[in-house]
Structure 1
Amino acid sequence: MVYFPIADYRPDVSVVNGSFTDTLVNVLPADGGYIPMPSAMVVSRPLEEKPLGCIAFRSGNGVKIIVGGKQKLYSYDSQTKGWKDISQSGVTYQANEENKWSFALFKNMVIAVNKNDQPQVFKVFSSERFEALGGNPPKAGLVKVWGPFICLMQLTDNPNRIHWSGEGDETLWETKYNVSGYIDFQDGEFVQGATETTNPIIFLRSAIYAGSLMLGSKSPFAFQKIQDKRGARSAASIACRGSDAFFAGDGGFYQMSLDGQLLPIGFEKVDRTVFKTFDKFALDEMQGVIDPIDNRIYWSIKRGNNEQITFVYDWGLQKWSRLQGKPFTLFPVFTTGYTLEQLDEIAINLESLPASLDSPRWQSGAPMLGAFDDQNRLVMFTGAPMEATVVSQEMGAPDGSFNFITKMFSEVDTTQGLLSIGERRLRHEHAPITWHKERVCSCVTGAYHGRSRNRYHRFKLRIPEGVYWNHITGFNVDLRPLGRG
């Protein structure tokens, strides 16, 4: 038997006689292998508008989820699973797909902005509705918190400007008061986004700046350019968690450290595949979201036929994978918890529950990856595994010899996977891989039986949706050399 460890997902490089593959679907990177991607479980009724931004946070009253639509702002009701209108009284908002909502938590308030409306504020413990943020702040497409300052960027009237509030005061915006101020970046084009730290990193279209907090000076922030002629391709592709920052540039994915070091995380891995496969419009709409628990970032790209491709990068393992399916708008969320009565509404008995009782899904305040589906419903990725497809590297003797295969084992903790053998005699564009029919494994030995005599072989394991498994690490193959044909 010959053992082939599970191949890393690197579609940019050759898959022949190496340790890389161009096909891994609906699995997540793990040490020594891959693990399943949970399916989405619906936890709310549909929102009446398409969600255009959201924030989830824990408060003294539990978990609160606020969502912005085209004309209204909503709060999630965990009791009814519905949505409550908490818009400013008498105001119809003007958000849209090009000018979405951005939210930030400052002290005990939620600040909400979009480029077409006056910035809004909601006091978590006392407000029933949003109201206009005081002090005449500028209209903006993005809001961040830098220590004791609220920072507005993607300004409607000054796209290359960042404007911050007074120290600890969300209502002071005139520059002559309390170190409120702004900076106009003279090069680097327009502002795309920033990290949310005391000493932030600011991403422009073709430059990156590092900011330093300098309390006590005339201006609280000093800025230094750390990358020239390189910036974020789109605002939505920037994803940050603490000092960890990731973005998509022109032709590649990058990780930015707090000290300004730039790491090309997609080079010779996925960059060519992503940036040459998808058109400019799809790439400009790419959305980046960081998992609230694990060291993973998800870059989602929508394409035709109501489908979405998501490229997943684990920065701890420095490995990639790919998700494929219906479109979701991803965002980090906290679970709202369930009462026993609400569990009764989901399933008639414990065995019928879609997740075990110790799952974070049933707990209040547990962080996890959430999303809105194509029906505007809130979902959480806590269900049974999605259908997974794992394809090995392509194996063949460099001297043109034939190999004979009679059986193989997949190193995975389920017997419900379906395996097929792929083969071809020559490697060129007119001789694609021919795949045999899928086979089930022996219920006695766990072996997949199938015969193939050829020069090049690959193996494809498909684990159907809903089948529970934990890890896949490779393939054991009964492979015998036959000599040249």
Structure 2
Amino acid sequence: MAEAARVALAPFAPDVATLDASVSAVARNVMPRADGWGPFASPVAISAALPAGCRGAIEVKSPAFGFSSYFAGTATQLFRYNAGTGVWDDVSREGGTYSVPPGDYWSFAIYGNRLLACSLGTPVQVINIDNGRRFAALDGNPPRARHMGVVGEFVVLAGLASDPNAVQWSDLGDIEFWQPGVGNGHTSDLQIFPDGGAVTGFAGGEFGIVFQERAIRRMVFSPGSAEVFGFEVFEENRGAVAPWSLTKVGARVFFLDRDGFYAFQGGASTPIGAERVNRFFAGRVDPDQLASVVAIRDVGGPRVLFAYRSLGSSADLGVLDEILLYDWLLDRWSFIGLPVRFGIVAATLPVSLDDIPGSLDDPGQLSLDDPSYAGGAPSLGVITADNRLALLNGPNLEALFETAEAMISRPNRTFVDAVRLDSDADDWRVAVGGREAPSQSRPVVYRTETGPTVEQFAPCRSSARYHRARVRIPAGTAWSYASAIEPRARAEGLR
């Protein structure tokens, strides 16, 4: 019995046929690595539950004190996380609640030491990050809007309730002056776009990027001009179909359009899901909830996650039960089965002496002045299905991935009696599947799943013309990489 050639674990591209291919159709609860796959951690809740479904959240740093603080909103209230008690304190405006439309989320923006929040159903709200006790309506009578952002010293509102095809901005350096087109030194104004459809997203920064249903425009400040801002069409017939599918990472803006996932940079969009995950996504997403797709930036690495509601998921429309993860540095995808409501940039919590595992005298134990105990390290966070703030730093989720299907002994049949996994996982299982022809009438038949022997080979007995291996690493297993399998196989006859 000879060992066949090492079979590398291929990138996830379920849109492409995996017969004798360099791609795989299954990569669940893993993160891409240059040499294969790595684990995806489970969420660890650090807060009590919000009293209702989360409709948006943000992490902010206090300009005066430097610590992280978290705000979240429901359809009717705004809350601030209390690190001392672990509960969410109600910081809604005095004497009233809000009304976020069904399927919408709060949009947040930071301007100096002030946090702004807007939705189509309520006036723009503001709170002092350092010492504010409650939100209040922003002075100046700004319009109600679905999106907001900051461009230089301007606050920009986009997708207005009064005109979804418009954006409006504050006065330069004065976010409490919103009267459009008055001149006399004031720079606040309004721009209505005659084409391109409704504004469906906005990204701020040195300049603004306006996403419409069928256009992408750049918004550039023109000091001294009567127009204040110039608007240049970067792309036509390209835009964002889901308002919260946008996330900005440096110079890149990732978004979902009608035909799939894109990255916008340098004035042009690049398809990142075509012939890889676009058809997979289209076949799984609930088409009635497409506008609720949420993009989540992973502050801990070059990754963005697109959370969506799948067909046949729970009755709670606010739960997004599946995630497609994209690593833009490796240009690779994976699939995560984790129900969430929203994503958030977060930070690790301080570690008390009582929570340090083992003894301080144990070999390899960190010293008490190690900076990791102080907390504050960037971390990927989510609002869970049960409305708790959680950090994705818990035990690893169960991982499941497959190799491509291959005719190992072409043109002959092959008998496989064992498979070895190249990984540092101590616990893993393999099920080998085989079939005689790659037709829909001949599905892959998997043998019983087995674990490794002391020689680190998982035994099996599979005789077929085409083979593939399905690998499972149980939940809670410590591991960092899985790069390939090595089947132990021999060629058989043609029949």
TM superposition score category, shorter chain reference:
over 0.9
User: Which range moves more in the overlay, 406-415 or 304-313?
Assistant: 304-313
Q: Which residue of 1 aligns with 2:317?
A: none
Pick from 457, 480, 485 the counterpart of residue 470 of structure 1: 480
Cα separation, partners in 2 of 1:466 and 1:121, compared to 1, 3 Å: same
State the SS of the aligned residue for 2:492. strand
Runs (4 or more) in structure 1 with deviation over 6 Å come to 347-351, 356-361
Moved more, 273-282 or 151-160: 273-282
Task: Give 2:343's match in structure 1, choosing from 318, 330, 340.
Answer: 330
Aligned residue number for residue 393 of structure 1: 404
Residues 99 and 253 of structure 1: is their aligned pair in 2 closer, same or farther, counting only changes over 3 Å?
Answer: closer
Greater strand percent: which structure?
1
SS of the residue corresponding to residue 9 of structure 1 reads coil
Q: Please, which of 3, 9, 13 is the counterpart of residue 10 of structure 1?
A: 13
Displacement of 1:398 in angstroms is 8.6
Query: Cα 1:397–1:260, aligned 2, differ >3 Å: closer, same or farther?
Result: same
1:154–1:161 Cα contact (<8 Å) kept: yes
1:429 alignment partner in structure 2? 440
The alignment status of 1:270 with 2:277, answered yes or no, reads yes
Q: Which amino acid aligns with 2:254?
A: F
**Secondary structure of 1:20 counterpart:** coil
Relative to structure 1, is the Cα distance of residues 453 and 460 closer, same or farther in structure 2, using a 3 angstrom cutoff? Answer: same
Q: Which moved more, 1:97-106 or 1:432-441?
A: 97-106
Matches within 5 A, 1:73-92: 73-92=78-97
Q: For 2:93 and 2:150, locate their aligned partners in 1 and report how far apart those are by CA, in whole Å.
A: 22
C-alpha separation between the residues in 2 aligned to 1:49 and 1:261? 39
Q: Name the SS for the 1:174 alignment partner.
A: coil
TM-score, normalized by length of structure 1? 0.93
Scaled by the length of structure 2, what TM-score is found? 0.92
Q: Distance in 2 between matches of 1:142 and 1:310?
A: 23
Counterpart contact for 2:419–2:430, Cα < 8 Å: no
State whether residues 103 and 292 of structure 2, in contact with CA within 8 Å, keep that contact through their aligned partners in structure 1.
Answer: no
| C-alpha contact (below 8 Å) 2:19/2:438 kept by paired residues | no
Post-superposition CA distance 1:307-333 (Å, at most 9, x none): 722111111000011101334422222
Distance in 2 (alpha carbons) for counterparts of 1:210 and 1:237: 18
Corresponding position of 1:287: 294
Identical counterparts, % of pairs: 28
Residue type of the alignment partner of 1:222: G
Looking at structure 2, the residues matched to 292 and 448 of structure 1 have their Cα atoms a distance apart, in angstroms, of 37
Change (3 A) 1:266 1:291: same
Match of 1:418 in 2: 429
Partner of 1:213: 221
Aligned residue in 1 for 2:174: 169
**1:190-269 matches, cutoff 5 A:** 190-257=198-265, 259-269=266-276
Alignment-mate amino acid for residue 382 of structure 2: A
Q: Distance in 2 between matches of 1:475 and 1:326?
A: 30
Per-residue deviation, residues 48-93 of structure 1 (Å, max 9, x unmatched): 1211111101113311101111222111011110111111111211
Residue 397 of structure 1: CA displacement? 5.4
Provide the secondary structure at the position in 1 that maps to 2:290: helix
Structure 2 distance, partners of 1:313, 1:99, is 24
1:312 pairs, out of 325, 330, 333, with 325
Aligned residues: 477
Q: 2:112 aligns with which of 107, 112, 118?
A: 107
1:324 partner letter: G
Partner-residue secondary structure (3-state), 2:493 = strand
Q: Which residue of 2 aligns with 1:121?
A: 126
Contact 1:441 1:449 in 2 (8 A): yes
Unaligned runs of 5+ in 2: 315-319
> Hey, what's the Cα distance between the residues in 2 that align with 1:113 and 1:142?
7
Contact 1:335 1:362 (C-alpha < 8 Å) held by counterparts: no
CA drift at 1:287 = 1.3
Note closer, same or farther for the CA distance 1:88–1:350 as it changes in structure 2 (3 Å cut): farther
In 1: Cα distance, 2:15 partner to 2:371 partner? 36
Q: Answer whether contact 1:120 1:130 (CA < 8 A) is retained.
A: yes
The answer to whether the Cα contact below 8 Å between 1:143 and 1:151 also exists between their aligned partners in 2 is yes
SS of residue paired to 2:337: strand
